[in-house]
Chain A
């Protein structure tokens, strides 16, 4: 097993070991067991985690309150004079009759129609020859190309993972700089590689086992390495859900299953928050 593959396997096992020991891992248990059989460091971690769980579970879960607890609760209920059948939040005191409601709705429709008529009949207030500013695109339209439909825009090259954290926020606010669409595409170009079409977002990957992409394993290690580093840098700047999705894309590129992508992104966030980021080995 080469160093990069081992790095990923260790990383995956570190992230998923808790869920494995909690029997909450759906498909990757055999993979973890295979790795544990050959990696002493991860075996030590598994033993430590199991011992810790045992120590916690050795504590008493339930405790007896002081004598008279039930009476104290019932007294409190009686003094509050609350009723279990009462609705959890207050209802409006006044309800409009249906006739009033119909009249109000009718007035609203008339007002809306009048405003529309005024707006359409007024001449443009722009000075002659001035081009109206483009309307503010919606948040959906401003999603980074990596997360939009492939081929839907000329700028389909994946964005910089570093930029994605901060620039995505700026884009959502409509303040993205013109340079926001750089990154992986440029990195790929500088290496003489063709920019890749974006992978589907993590949610799509989470759709199930059918999304297994093991055929593409590690073919673009250089690109992946840079992407992970940029992602780490983006995280240190503040992090965002977009960076998380970008990380999921990166992990997908390495042929991880949907479940593994989920675990890996979870541990990546925890690592970066705690400044534990361990870069990819250099071959």
Chain B
């Protein structure tokens, strides 16, 4: 079952919360945060590669969403709207800081008892690390497509890009991932993606 089909009741609950919030009931926004925190934080974590930064970015995304709630018209899902906000925010952060993701990944986990997902997964597959190392827009298209299961047109709207550019970004991102993943392996012929 598609994610969109599963979320129909949640969608109407979202609209209800937005209405109440716009009517002055600030606590109604807490319901939205509660419902979408995993998605927003998940995207931030994949984009930024650090729990601390992801937590901060996810908070900032919700604050922005709150201040712009009057612009949410309900023609798109709340989830898609929030993913758009957090994705653009993360792209801006990555560009502004111009920091190498390795630095973030190599940081000591802030909670040693609970190893961070990136180190754990990178050791097992290398795929999470390869994604974090992609350029911001390529990382975004991979995350939106494969983890958020967005259509090309939704991705285009989210990133404010033409669909053709989204396709080109996906093609390049997949090639880059393949190159990075196969460079360390013993595979013979390189498959061009």
Contacts and interface: CB of A to CB of B under 8 A. Distances in A.
Interface of A: 14-15, 18-19, 22, 24, 44-45, 48-49, 52-53, 55-66, 69-70, 72-74, 76-78, 80, 82-88, 262-263, 265-267, 269-270, 273-274, 276
Contacts of A60: 42, 117
B67 A86 contact: yes
Given A59-B121, A62-B38, A84-B29, A18 B147 contact: no
Interface of B: 21-22, 24, 26-27, 29-30, 33-34, 37-39, 41-42, 45-46, 51, 54-55, 58-59, 62-63, 66-71, 117, 121, 125, 127-128, 131, 142, 145-148, 151-152, 164, 167-168, 170-172, 174-175, 177-178, 181, 191-193
A72 B55 CA distance: 10
Contact of A18 (B34, B58, B174): B174
Contacts of B67: 80, 82-84, 86, 88
Contacts of A64: 37-38, 41
Contact of B42 (A18, A52, A56, A63): A63
A174 B149 CA distance: 46
Contacts, number: 152
Contacts of A19: 152, 167
Most chain A beta-carbon neighbours within 10 Å: one of B33, B68, B171, B174: B171
Contacts of A82: 63, 66-67
Contacts of B27: 74
Contacts of B168: 266, 269-270
A22 B173 CA distance: 14
A140 B54 CA distance: 47
A9 to B, nearest CB: 15
B55 A77 contact: no
A22 B148 contact: no
Nearest to A244: B164
16 contacts: A48-B193, A52-B177, A52-B178, A56-B142, A59-B127, A59-B128, A59-B147, A64-B37, A74-B29, A74-B33, A76-B59, A77-B62, A77-B63, A77-B66, A85-B24, A270-B168
A57 B146 contact: yes
Contact of B193 (A49, A58, A86, A266): A49
Contact of A65 (B58, B70, B170): B58
A276 B170 CA distance: 17
Q: Which 9 pairs from chain A and chain B are nearest by CB?
A: A84-B69, A62-B38, A61-B147, A62-B42, A56-B146, A65-B41, A63-B42, A82-B67, A73-B62
A18 B70 contact: no
A244 to B, nearest CB: 9
Given A53-B146, A56-B127, A64-B41, A270 B63 contact: no
Contacts of B127: 55-56, 58-59
A274 B175 contact: yes
Contact of A14 (B42, B45, B62, B192): B192
Contact of B41 (A57, A59, A63, A74): A63
Contacts of B59: 69, 72-73, 76
A70 B30 contact: yes
Contacts of B58: 65, 69
A18 B39 contact: no
A58 B131 CA distance: 13
A56 B164 contact: no
A86 B70 CA distance: 7
A266 B42 contact: no
Nearest to B191: A48
Nearest to A273: B172
A265 B125 CA distance: 33
Contacts of B46: 59
Given A49-B193, A59-B128, A267-B171, A84 B55 contact: no
A84 to B, nearest CB: 4
A78 B71 CA distance: 20
B181 A62 contact: no
A77 B70 contact: no
